[in-house]
């Protein structure tokens, strides 16, 4: 498209206000509770066994136990996460706390017997795993026949230039291949897991966080300040912390721009598998 002086200065101003008003109308983006709805639609019975891969401080494991009555094992490679999760468990009602436990583990080494789990829950983890094939194969191993995987992660889109991706992924600890949708699709196919559903969330979580609390706008403001006076923040917090904060702010902004997109995969181990 070439620039049109008449349209820019005459036609466009006539519709600009109406266009702005239309853009102020929400497109009803989904929020992270969509993952719980996905689990709800699987219609798993209470007391099912679930493993939360990359459980962090335990928030999702607690939700799975509270909302569905599952017996949940949270695994994580970071001891600090496990310590905080176990500490948080002490504040839960006894019937919920008794359903949740935490152990050291990774996406490629889940410390449970073969064919023992009804659900593998994995959120915001696989982008950090350098063996995507190994992770999905491990999920298939631990699931009972007919068991499910519900996995969420952010992937790169065609809008993300390679040079931006290289810097961002290095700073944020993202394995480039694990953020490639084609690589994920191939790993899933090789694992033998069936695809029940694949949900493209695009920019929805970013939009929702902005609408509810202005998170994306705040990240953009912080990004502007980081770029305008980098030495102020490097001197106070150090180069490494500066780069991580810069990467985190760009991550939020790129989600809004569509350079990064949310993706949910609902997978099943075949009943005869």
Match 């559903």 to its residue by tokens.
197
Question: Residue 107 has which token pair?
Answer: 């996406």
Instruction: Kindly provide the residue ranges of all beta strands, DSSP E only, lying in 54-142, ordered along the sequence.
Output: 71-76, 100-104, 117-123
The phi and psi torsions of 246 (rounded to 5 degrees) equal: -60, -45
Average pLDDT value for residue range 243-258: 97
Q: What is the pTM of this model?
A: 0.93
Residues whose CB is less than 8 angstroms from the CB of residue 162 and which lie 6 or more positions away in sequence, other chains included: none
Quick: pLDDT tens for 162-187.
999 999 999 999 999 999 999 999 99
Average pLDDT value for residue range 46-57: 97
Query: CA-to-CA distance for 261 and 153, rounded, in angstroms?
Result: 8
pLDDT at site 1: 80
Residues constituting the chain: 273
Query: CA-to-CA distance for 204 and 213, rounded, in angstroms?
Result: 14
- Say whether pLDDT at 134 is over 80: yes
Strands 117-123 and 100-104: unpaired
Residues whose CB is less than 8 angstroms from the CB of residue 47 and which lie 6 or more positions away in sequence, other chains included: 69, 70, 71
Percent of the chain with pLDDT over 70: 100
Query: CA-to-CA distance for 65 and 215, rounded, in angstroms?
Result: 28
Confidence category of residue 123, pLDDT binned at 50, 70, 90: very high
- Say whether pLDDT at 272 is over 90: no
pLDDT mean across residues, the chain: 96
Average pLDDT value for residue range 135-159: 98
Quick: pLDDT tens for 72-117.
999 999 999 999 999 999 999 999 999 999 999 999 999 999 999 9
pLDDT at site 244: 97
- The CA–CA distances, whole Å, from 237 to 124, 220, 234, 242, 244 equal 26, 20, 5, 7, 11
Confidence category of residue 273, pLDDT binned at 50, 70, 90: low
Quick: pLDDT tens for 217-249.
999 999 999 999 999 999 999 999 999 999 999
Average pLDDT value for residue range 245-270: 97
């Amino acid at each position: 498209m070439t620039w049109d002086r008449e349209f820019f200065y005459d036609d466009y101003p006539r519709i600009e206000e109406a266009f702005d008003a239309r853009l102020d109308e929400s497109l009803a983006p989904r929020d992270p509770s969509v993952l719980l709805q996905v689990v709800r639609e699987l219609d798993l019975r209470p007391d099912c066994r679930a493993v939360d891969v990359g459980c962090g401080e335990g928030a999702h494991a607690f939700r799975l136990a509270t909302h569905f009555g599952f017996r949940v094992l949270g695994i994580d490679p970071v001891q600090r996460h496990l310590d905080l999760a176990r500490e948080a468990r002490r504040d839960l009602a006894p019937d919920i706390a008794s359903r949740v436990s935490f152990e050291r583990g990774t996406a490629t080494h889940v410390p449970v017997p073969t064919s023992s789990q009804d659900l593998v829950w994995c959120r915001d983890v696989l982008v950090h795993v350098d063996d995507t094939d190994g992770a999905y194969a491990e999920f298939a191993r631990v699931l009972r026949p007919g068991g499910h995987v519900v996995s969420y992660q952010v992937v790169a889109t065609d809008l993300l230039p390679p040079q931006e991706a290289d810097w961002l992924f290095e700073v944020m600890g993202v394995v480039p291949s694990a953020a490639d949708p084609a690589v994920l699709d191939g790993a899933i196919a090789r694992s033998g897991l069936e695809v029940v559903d694949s949900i493209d969330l695009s920019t929805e979580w970013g939009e929702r966080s902005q609408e509810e609390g202005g998170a994306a706008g705040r990240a953009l403001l912080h990004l502007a300040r980081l770029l305008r006076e980098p030495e102020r923040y490097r001197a106070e917090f150090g180069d490494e912390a500066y780069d991580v904060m810069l990467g985190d702010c760009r991550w939020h902004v790129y989600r809004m721009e569509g350079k990064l997109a949310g993706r949910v995969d609902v997978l099943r181990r075949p009943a005869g598998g």
